[in-house]
Structure 1
């Protein structure tokens, strides 16, 4: 059964409302951590926006290389500039005003009307390539020849940074190729090929577009002024009453040989690549439908399935898979990867990807701790400042087993690691993470998901024994008991069972607050934090719970009544004097 891809269309009723449209963004990813992204108006509002953000050490070391393409269309003696860039006090030019529509179907497509001439621009990325294809189609029903000029704006910067041309100790160098150009910084740290399937490339002296303003970064108190370099331009003509389709291909590599390999693999048959990407997306939806044939495949569900694909990426260091915690700027984080693993891979039937994600984090397990995250900057080592990511690993293994029944993989690849992790926690490991005498896990500050820092001080330290950590620890021990029984290791099973029972007894005694009817959020030597927070919901959400039915129901009810909101759970009850409904502004 063939399943159609989902579509979203925005007409002039949306696009003409600038303040609304400028906040609407799209993103296309390439399975490497790289992506293309902008707004539906074609105005970049973040330093993270661009047509080619390449991951040079997938899924990290991401560089903005092609900021955008700005087009000029000359019809007779009239020229239309349809690019748009924001500066401090204006948007120049105002090409977004020529937009007649924008759609995702599933790739972002801009449609412009210039008198009687129509231009369509679609953007997609070949999977597994640091490359972007911009597919143009222009219809000229007039008697005039239409002249098209396309101006690439290029950059070379890490996507967390911005470029100030006056502070650069290098310059861009152009190396013309047939119908295109190879642009690279003189320090030879990467190279970018930009190629057009039609017309010619005209190498100018090059000029800078300075002080482009990114309004979203400005609102967050971050660096928000960027300079981009325009090396030259592409030019072609469309005859009277002609409909012409042509492509701009941008490909990136760390070396000239690497970029030439990427370019040669995609430039020969762009149509085939486009169809291949469509079929790959169709395949994702069809695979889901095979597992859930009775589910109605509505567009919202199709979009959810396609969205899961954006977060599953290749990790070069393990030759396996990982999970990007969020776009635009997050890397692969242990906690996020393992919490989301069931939704991203198991429900969608991507069982091999699930295995590869588990193996990636196994590879980096250090002293019984799964990495908190992998920094994006090249050369930096994983950070291990987490107490919960490791315990979510046990849950991910359990969920994998429930969906696949693959005991052989768990026994051969996971069992020794899981036993080692438990032992490291018993003996004590990094960041003062250790098993206390009461059978519960104690830990230092800023190690849970509530890890925000202001002026190098944790906002919510939660040192001691956090409620969800105990729930995850108990769940891990019961998982170990289950596995030990499956592997006919009776003594091990009895050991883990005894550890779990001790944790359960201590937890109920120390964490249940009879005065409020819910759980303390953190218990330590100094105090018991009675704040009503969402963390306690985890105690009833896992396969193995330490609470009886009556207590579990009370927690669900109070969290639903006091913390439930439109897009998730509040981190504090509105009745708490520390509650703040909206956070705006910079990092501090």
Structure 2
């Protein structure tokens, strides 16, 4: 894997050390997450964040474990870090950091105070909500180490205040149980019980969200480090009837071995692919008895069917996990209703509110069968996929239907935003894109062709599918080329002055990246068009991927910043989306346009924001600072896929 490590110039500087984040996941939807400096900058940061009945429902438990070292001289050196509502940062343990590194994907800190050096390593137990934190004396000593446990028990999207009762902390052998929800275990537990008031999260302040919370100082562990190699360790895990987890040092070794196995299974061709393969593993989860699923992004997303299907090939087929992918595809096929794939949204409701997730599902099944030869799966889900086509021909939810006039898909309903550009401000879609979006119909053409291949492989007659495909392809080639030299983003869009169905339509020639799918998909409707790709690159391409709108458009917003309304308003109006590097690279390869240097910026990005991973979004204007989730599934998956498929 690539070498991710930082020295004191990054670790001790909050403008650098507190903007680079690490993530360790447990495989069941929970995680530990924080910054290189150790300063918590988000309400989502914590050492034990537990997933509930679905990955989007997470609760923060153990927030921090603050070390303090008692030297032989009697001096007390505090190694933790917190920012307070007053603006003070205290303690400032990051100023003693001499190195941070990811070792086999696990974070490791190294503090120095004179000749005394202590390292901390953190890991989660695969398949269980359990975190292990191991402190090791590297040099110096003897010293006494205290570890103050700051806790909460709240929804990951909120805050807990001191205006309510303190947390219930019940002593048990070797530690305590907090709120009957999670357990702490370590040496020499001493209960405390007081509020730490006004802990500040600078990233939440920047996002226009409540920036402060109160934490409960539950107690502290302590132990003596007499000589180099001695350790003091703490475990925290979800309180349940399962047996106690292994010792902390063993948890670290279990996690390390598994991470190495994940990388080896992916058979990476270089260090970047190895890093991306391990990053991809973080998004593949199994909660309880549920089938395998995909977390769209950390720290705040759960599972979203569109994201899952876009990421499918990169997460499963390019990492040696086709068996898990098969399980996922079968489970998602069972959610089809009226020809639409369920959008397992973070709201807790199963919704059918996308026009393209189902089409991406067709693509994922076709890719699975084509790359693995698993014709049995193709035959098993084929009846459900044929029913998808029938439902779209007859018409389904939200006005989604095949237009009998040209065989293309149209869609739209008042207040709906059904494509991947689905942001809303105060409930109103920013880019409703009603009519016939270009990528939706590229996916429709691609899906019909792929489905015809699956039908013929299963011995079924595919003549009608072939006729539909030919008709839609002809209409696509006639309708989408626009006078400026690229493709219309939407054709037959309702004119702004008229409601849906009002009878007036226009074609939207906004320069957006959605058209890339018309050249990039396996059964793309258009032949490669180098001049169009050159125009798109000139307007949209950045080091982190294509922008969502050309900068000369009146609606362009160059910074994805501010409160929720400002960020949602910019989300698809110029913000960079790294996942789109996949369609762009595929389109270029088909057009014989070199892409050898395309991935340099994204590869460098692996050490800039979410360490070892790829962010959800970035600003449309230089320096293209990363925004959104630091760890995003389809961003990682598409970069991994196109790097591997091009070799």
> Does TM-score exceed 0.5, indicating one fold?
yes
> Match for 1:173 among 161, 168, 174?
168
Match of 1:520 in 2: 488
User: Tell me, what secondary structure is at the counterpart of 2:22?
Assistant: strand
Match of 1:276 in 2: 254
Match of 1:544 in 2: 523
> Match for 1:72 among 55, 68, 73?
68
> Match for 2:204 among 210, 217, 222?
217
Match of 1:400 in 2: 368
Aligned-partner Cα distance in 2 for 1:131–1:366: 37
User: Tell me, what secondary structure is at the counterpart of 1:127?
Assistant: coil
Aligned-partner Cα distance in 1 for 2:204–2:283: 23
1:51-90 correspondence to structure 2 within 5 Å: 51-75=47-71, 76-88=73-85, 89-90=87-88
> Match for 2:468 among 499, 520, 531?
499
User: Tell me, what secondary structure is at the counterpart of 2:189?
Assistant: strand
* C-alpha contact 2:540 2:550 (8 A) present in aligned 1: yes
Aligned-partner Cα distance in 2 for 1:172–1:394: 49
Match of 2:425 in 1: 454
Q: Which moved more, 1:110-119 or 1:363-372?
A: 363-372
Aligned-partner Cα distance in 2 for 1:520–1:141: 68
Aligned-partner Cα distance in 1 for 2:525–2:102: 46
Q: How far apart are residue 435 of structure 1 and its match?
A: 1.5
Q: Which moved more, 1:60-69 or 1:498-507?
A: 498-507
Match of 1:439 in 2: 407
* C-alpha contact 1:58 1:314 (8 A) present in aligned 2: no
* C-alpha contact 1:320 1:359 (8 A) present in aligned 2: no
Does residue 1:421 correspond to 2:399, yes or no?
Answer: no
Aligned-partner Cα distance in 2 for 1:230–1:388: 48
The change in CA–CA distance for 1:46 and 1:163 in structure 2 (over 3 A counts) is: same
Structure 1, unaligned runs of 5 or more:
185-189
Q: How far apart are residue 58 of structure 1 and its match?
A: 4.0
Aligned-partner Cα distance in 1 for 2:13–2:166: 40
Q: How far apart are residue 583 of structure 1 and its match?
A: 2.2
Q: TM-score, normalising length from structure 2?
A: 0.82
* C-alpha contact 2:519 2:527 (8 A) present in aligned 1: no
* C-alpha contact 1:54 1:252 (8 A) present in aligned 2: yes
Q: TM-score, normalising length from structure 1?
A: 0.90
Does residue 1:156 correspond to 2:153, yes or no?
Answer: yes
The change in CA–CA distance for 1:273 and 1:148 in structure 2 (over 3 A counts) is: closer
Match of 2:118 in 1: 119
Structure with higher strand content: 1
Does residue 1:558 correspond to 2:535, yes or no?
Answer: yes
Match of 1:187 in 2: none
Match of 1:12 in 2: 8
Aligned-partner Cα distance in 2 for 1:331–1:81: 36
Aligned-partner Cα distance in 2 for 1:321–1:208: 39
| Alpha-carbon displacement from aligned partner over 1:339-364 (angstroms, at most 9, x marks no partner) | 11111111111111211221232232
| Alpha-carbon displacement from aligned partner over 1:205-249 (angstroms, at most 9, x marks no partner) | x0011111110111010121111111111122233x464113100
The change in CA–CA distance for 1:401 and 1:230 in structure 2 (over 3 A counts) is: same
Aligned-partner Cα distance in 1 for 2:547–2:206: 23
> Match for 1:202 among 165, 176, 190?
190
* C-alpha contact 2:56 2:301 (8 A) present in aligned 1: no
Q: How far apart are residue 475 of structure 1 and its match?
A: 0.8
The change in CA–CA distance for 1:165 and 1:382 in structure 2 (over 3 A counts) is: farther
Runs of 4+, deviation exceeding 6 Å: none
Does residue 1:307 correspond to 2:305, yes or no?
Answer: no
Aligned-partner Cα distance in 2 for 1:140–1:519: 64
Does residue 1:374 correspond to 2:361, yes or no?
Answer: no
Does residue 1:480 correspond to 2:451, yes or no?
Answer: yes
Aligned-partner Cα distance in 1 for 2:17–2:296: 26
> Match for 2:181 among 183, 191, 199?
191
Q: How far apart are residue 372 of structure 1 and its match?
A: 2.8
Aligned-partner Cα distance in 2 for 1:71–1:270: 17
Aligned-partner Cα distance in 2 for 1:246–1:497: 67
> Match for 2:231 among 231, 245, 270?
245
Aligned-partner Cα distance in 1 for 2:91–2:249: 31
Does residue 1:26 correspond to 2:22, yes or no?
Answer: yes
Aligned-partner Cα distance in 1 for 2:440–2:138: 61
The change in CA–CA distance for 1:82 and 1:181 in structure 2 (over 3 A counts) is: same
Match of 2:102 in 1: 104
Aligned-partner Cα distance in 2 for 1:131–1:466: 45
Aligned-partner Cα distance in 2 for 1:121–1:243: 12
Aligned-partner Cα distance in 1 for 2:8–2:527: 56
1:39-54 correspondence to structure 2 within 5 Å: 39-54=35-50
- State the superposition RMSD in angstroms: 1.8
Q: Which moved more, 1:427-436 or 1:402-411?
A: 427-436
User: Tell me, what secondary structure is at the counterpart of 1:447?
Assistant: coil
Aligned-partner Cα distance in 1 for 2:130–2:542: 40
1:223-234 correspondence to structure 2 within 5 Å: 223-234=210-221
* C-alpha contact 2:12 2:94 (8 A) present in aligned 1: no
Q: How far apart are residue 139 of structure 1 and its match?
A: 4.5
* C-alpha contact 1:537 1:555 (8 A) present in aligned 2: no
Match of 2:136 in 1: 137
| Alpha-carbon displacement from aligned partner over 1:437-480 (angstroms, at most 9, x marks no partner) | 12111111411111111111111110111111001011111111
Q: How far apart are residue 60 of structure 1 and its match?
A: 3.1
* C-alpha contact 1:322 1:356 (8 A) present in aligned 2: no
The change in CA–CA distance for 1:201 and 1:315 in structure 2 (over 3 A counts) is: closer
Q: How far apart are residue 171 of structure 1 and its match?
A: 4.2
